[in-house]
Copies of this chain bind each other. A is one copy, B any other.
Amino acid sequence: MKSEERKNGENTALWGGRFSQSLDQQVLNYSASLHFDSRLAPQDIRGSKAHAAMLSQVGILSAIELQQINGGFETIEAELAQGTFPFRPELEDIHMNIETRLTELIGDVGKKLHTGRSRNDQVALDLRLFCRDVADGWQLALSRLISAFIERAELTKETLFPASTHLQAAQPISWAHYFLAFAAMFERDLRRLESYKTLHDVSPLGAGALAGTTLPIDPAISAKALGFARPFFNSYDVVGDRDFILELLQIASQIMLHVSRLAEDLVYYSSTLVGLVDLPDKLCTGSSMMPQKKNPDILELARGKTATVLGSAQAMVLLLKGLPSSYNRDLQQDKEHLFPAVDIVSDTLALLPVVISQLQILEARSQELLASGFLMATDLAEALVKRGVPFRRAHEIVGATVGELTRKNRSLISLTVAELQQHYSEADADLLESLKPARVLQERSHSGSTGLKSVADQISELRQALASRSI
A444 nearest in chain B by CB position: B212
| Option from B136, B141, B212 in Cβ contact (under 8 Å) with A454 | B212
Distance from A369 Cβ to chain B, minimum over Cβ atoms (Å): 6
Q: With a CB–CB cut-off of 8 A, which chain B residues contact A425?
A: none
Q: With a CB–CB cut-off of 8 A, which chain B residues contact A173?
A: 210-211, 236
B450 to A211, Cβ gap below 8 A? yes
A120 to B165, Cβ gap below 8 A? yes
| Option from B144, B191, B213, B328 in Cβ contact (under 8 Å) with A449 | B213
Q: Does A463 contact B (CB under 8 A)?
A: no
Q: Does A83 contact B (CB under 8 A)?
A: no
| Complex Cα gap A232–B448 (Å) | 6
Given contacts A111-B392, A210-B163, contact A325 B26 (CB under 8 A): no
Q: Does A379 contact B (CB under 8 A)?
A: yes
B213 to A14, Cβ gap below 8 A? no
| Option from B10, B43, B192, B282 in Cβ contact (under 8 Å) with A199 | B192
Given contacts A298-B30, A350-B19, A449-B235, contact A311 B322 (CB under 8 A): no
Distance from A81 Cβ to chain B, minimum over Cβ atoms (Å): 10
| Option from B227, B250, B320 in Cβ contact (under 8 Å) with A5 | B227
Q: With a CB–CB cut-off of 8 A, which chain B residues contact A225?
A: 3
B301 to A307, Cβ gap below 8 A? no
Distance from A123 Cβ to chain B, minimum over Cβ atoms (Å): 10
| Complex Cα gap A103–B393 (Å) | 12
A189 nearest in chain B by CB position: B243
A271 to B168, Cβ gap below 8 A? yes
A31 to B297, Cβ gap below 8 A? yes
Q: Does A263 contact B (CB under 8 A)?
A: yes
B181 to A237, Cβ gap below 8 A? yes
B238 to A168, Cβ gap below 8 A? no
1/0 per residue A134-148: CB within 8 Å of B? 101100110010000
A289 to B118, Cβ gap below 8 A? yes
Q: Does A283 contact B (CB under 8 A)?
A: yes
A381 to B291, Cβ gap below 8 A? yes
1/0 per residue A88-124: CB within 8 Å of B? 0000000100000001000011011111111110100
Count A-side interface residues using an 8 Å CB cutoff: 214
| Complex Cα gap A141–B431 (Å) | 52
B180 to A300, Cβ gap below 8 A? no
| Complex Cα gap A263–B348 (Å) | 28
B346 to A164, Cβ gap below 8 A? no
Name the interface residues of A416-446: CB closer than 8 Å to any CB of B: 434, 440, 443-446
Distance from A438 Cβ to chain B, minimum over Cβ atoms (Å): 13
| Option from B165, B214, B330 in Cβ contact (under 8 Å) with A379 | B214
Q: With a CB–CB cut-off of 8 A, which chain B residues contact A327?
A: 165-166
| Complex Cα gap A294–B80 (Å) | 32
Name the interface residues of A267-318: CB closer than 8 Å to any CB of B: 267-268, 271-276, 282-283, 285-298, 300-301, 303-308, 310-318
| Option from B268, B305, B315, B402 in Cβ contact (under 8 Å) with A292 | B402
A11 to B133, Cβ gap below 8 A? yes
Given contacts A310-B321, A314-B314, A382-B213, contact A291 B184 (CB under 8 A): no
Q: Does A78 contact B (CB under 8 A)?
A: no
Given contacts A209-B290, A231-B447, contact A329 B304 (CB under 8 A): yes
A sample of 17 more A-B contacts (CB under 8 A), given A26-B354, A170-B209, A206-B447, is A3-B226, A19-B144, A30-B347, A111-B393, A115-B385, A166-B297, A166-B329, A167-B296, A169-B273, A170-B293, A178-B325, A184-B233, A214-B443, A264-B324, A288-B395, A307-B315, A322-B323
Top 9 A-B pairs ranked by shortest CB distance?
A311-B315, A212-B449, A304-B330, A300-B329, A111-B392, A292-B374, A195-B195, A118-B289, A181-B237
